Homo-oligomer: A and B are copies of this chain.
Amino acid sequence: MTTTLETMRAFAQRAKAASRVLAVATTAQKNRALELLARELRAHVADLVEANAKDLADAKAAGKNAAFLDRLLLDPARVEAMAKAVESIVALEDPVGEVTESWRRPNGLEVRKVRLPLGVVLMIYESRPNVTSDAAALCLKSGNVALLRGGSESFRSNQAIARALSAALLGAGLPEDAALLVPDTSRESMLALLSLDGLVDLAIPRGGEGLIRFVAENARVPVVKHYQGVCHVYLHADADLAMAERIVVNAKASRPGVCNAMECLLVDEAVAAQALPRVARALVDEGVELRGCAKTVALLTAAKVPVTPAGEGDFGKEFLELICAVKVVPGLDGALQHIARYGSEHTEAIVTASRDAARRFTREVCASAVVVNASTRFNDGGELGLGAEVGISTSRLHAFGPMGLKELTAQKFVVEGDGQVR
C-alpha cells in the first residue's frame, strides 16, 4: 500500500523536476504564462463561480461565520480582480539572473552574485481562493514551482483555478507541473510535505497564528514565518500633534484587522497632558475602545475621554479590532524598552520632529519595518514598492518584512577566470 508520505514524495519529485525547467525559462515565457492564466481565469469565470458555490454551500452548512464566507466567496468581480492581479505581475521585473554585486579579485577572477529561484515553494494558506492565483503568479514569475495548499473549504474553487493554471503553463510551453495544487488537504499530507527536506525548498504559511506555529513546529524544511503584528506608534515629545493625530487614527482605524495596524499607542510623558486627550478623542470618534495605563486613565478621565484601565495582558496583544492599548512612557528610552519587551518585530513607528530621536529610533528598534512620521499601514509589499508580496516575514532569516519577487530568490556566486588555480 502506498503511504501518504510516498505519495507526497512522488508529488514533490514531479515539482522538483519541473523546477529545473522553470528555473531557466525566459522572462518572455513566464510572462506569456501569466497572460494566459489571466485569460483562462476570465474564460472560465462561470466554472470558477460554480465550483465556488459548492464550497460556499458546504461551508455554510458547516456553520462558518460571515467573515469566513466572505473570504471564501468568488463572484465575477472577484475573478476579474484575480485576473488583473496576475496581469500586474507581468509588469514586474524578473528577479532571476539579476546581478546584485560584482567585483574583481587581485588575481583577476571576476566574481558576481546572480539571483536564481529557490526551487519548490510550498504555500500553505486558508480558504481564500485569490491567494491560489496570487501565490502561483508570484512563484511563476520568480521561477519557483508553487505547491499550493489552501484550506479544505476552498478545495473545489482551488481545483478550478488550478485547471486554468495548468492550461496557461502548457500554452506557454512550460511544464504542467510548474505549479501544482496539493491533491488533498489533509493534515497528514501537509505534514508529509513539510518533512521533505531537499525536495521542498521553502514553506510559507499564511493565516492565523495557530496554523503558522503548527507549520513552524512540524517542518523539517525551511519556513519563513509570518507571526502576529503587535505594532506601536510612539508620540515623541517633539511630535507635530496634527500629524500625530492623522497617523494614529490611520494606523489604528483604517483597517484594524490586518497585521500592520497599530495595537498600542505610546505617548511621551513630556507631552502627554497636551497630546493624549486630543489623539485619544480622535480615536474614540472612530469607534476605538481605549485601554490605558494608570497615567493614561487619569489624564483621559480628567479630559472626559472614555477609557478603561488596561490589564497587563493588553500590552503585547494583537487585538485585530477597534481596541487600542495606551501607555505613557518616560521618554525615548522608555518607548524603546516597551517596544523591545512587547513588540513582535513587525512594524514600529515614531512621530517626531527631532532628527536625533528619529535616528536613535530607526537604529535601535528591531522590526521588519521601522517608520518615521508615517502610518504603520505602509508595511506592505505594494506600498513599499515591491510590487506584490507573498506575506510579511517577522523572522530575520532569509527575509524580514514584505516578501516580494526578490525574496523568492537565492543568489549564487559566478566566478570567471582565465586559468587561475590556488
From A254, which residue of chain B is reached at the shortest CB distance?
A: B422
Q: Which residues 369-385 of A sit at the B interface, judged by CB distance below 8 A? A: 369-375, 377-379, 383-385
The answer on a CB contact under 8 Å between A105 and B384 is yes
The answer on a CB contact under 8 Å between A383 and B105 is yes
**A421 contacts chain B at the CB level, 8 A cutoff:** yes
**A420 contacts chain B at the CB level, 8 A cutoff:** yes
* Complex-state Cα separation, A413 to B393, whole angstroms: 12
Q: In the complex, how many angstroms separate the beta carbon of A283 from the nearest chain B beta carbon?
A: 14
The answer on a CB contact under 8 Å between B111 and A422 is no
**A24 contacts chain B at the CB level, 8 A cutoff:** yes
**A10 contacts chain B at the CB level, 8 A cutoff:** no
The answer on a CB contact under 8 Å between A222 and B397 is yes
**A6 contacts chain B at the CB level, 8 A cutoff:** no
Interface size range on A against B: 35 or more
* Complex-state Cα separation, A383 to B413, whole angstroms: 12
**A152 contacts chain B at the CB level, 8 A cutoff:** no
Q: Which residues of B contact A375 (CB under 8 A)?
A: 420-422
* Complex-state Cα separation, A362 to B105, whole angstroms: 19
* Complex-state Cα separation, A396 to B121, whole angstroms: 12
**A4 contacts chain B at the CB level, 8 A cutoff:** no
Q: Which residues of B contact A367 (CB under 8 A)?
A: 412
Q: Which residues of B contact A383 (CB under 8 A)?
A: 105, 109, 422
From A410, which residue of chain B is reached at the shortest CB distance?
A: B396
From A375, which residue of chain B is reached at the shortest CB distance?
A: B421
A247 in contact with B421 given A222-B395, A400-B412 (CB within 8 Å): yes
The answer on a CB contact under 8 Å between B246 and A419 is yes
Tally of this chain's copies: 2
The answer on a CB contact under 8 Å between B421 and A384 is no
The answer on a CB contact under 8 Å between B416 and A373 is yes
Contact string against B for A residues 328-344, beta-carbon threshold 8 Å, 1 for contact and 0 otherwise? 00000000000010000
Q: In the complex, how many angstroms separate the beta carbon of A369 from the nearest chain B beta carbon?
A: 4
The answer on a CB contact under 8 Å between A370 and B421 is no
Q: Which residues 67-122 of A sit at the B interface, judged by CB distance below 8 A? A: 97, 103, 105, 109, 111, 114, 116, 118-119
A418 in contact with B109 given A20-B340, A413-B384 (CB within 8 Å): no
**A414 contacts chain B at the CB level, 8 A cutoff:** yes
Contact string against B for A residues 182-203, beta-carbon threshold 8 Å, 1 for contact and 0 otherwise? 0000000000000001000110
Q: In the complex, how many angstroms separate the beta carbon of A147 from the nearest chain B beta carbon?
A: 16
Contact string against B for A residues 393-404, beta-carbon threshold 8 Å, 1 for contact and 0 otherwise? 001111011100
Q: Which residues of B contact A412 (CB under 8 A)?
A: 366-370, 400-401
Q: Which residues of B contact A369 (CB under 8 A)?
A: 412-415
Q: Which residues of B contact A57 (CB under 8 A)?
A: none
Q: In the complex, how many angstroms separate the beta carbon of A233 from the nearest chain B beta carbon?
A: 11
A419 in contact with B374 given A119-B396, A369-B413, A396-B118 (CB within 8 Å): yes
| Central interface residue in A202, A364, A419, by most chain B CB within 10 Å | A419
Q: Which residues 131-173 of A sit at the B interface, judged by CB distance below 8 A? A: none
**A307 contacts chain B at the CB level, 8 A cutoff:** no
Please list 8 pairs of residues, one from A and one from B, whose beta carbons are closer than 8 Å in the complex, sorted by A's number.
Answer: A20-B340, A24-B364, A240-B419, A367-B412, A370-B415, A372-B414, A384-B413, A384-B415
Since A254-B422, A372-B417, A374-B420 are in contact, a sample of 16 more A-B pairs with Cβ atoms closer than 8 Å, ordered by chain A residue number, is A103-B385, A109-B378, A116-B366, A201-B397, A222-B395, A254-B421, A369-B412, A369-B415, A371-B416, A371-B417, A372-B414, A373-B417, A374-B421, A378-B422, A400-B411, A401-B412
Leading 9 A-B pairs by shortest Cβ distance? A374-B417, A250-B421, A396-B410, A398-B398, A243-B419, A369-B413, A374-B420, A222-B397, A372-B416
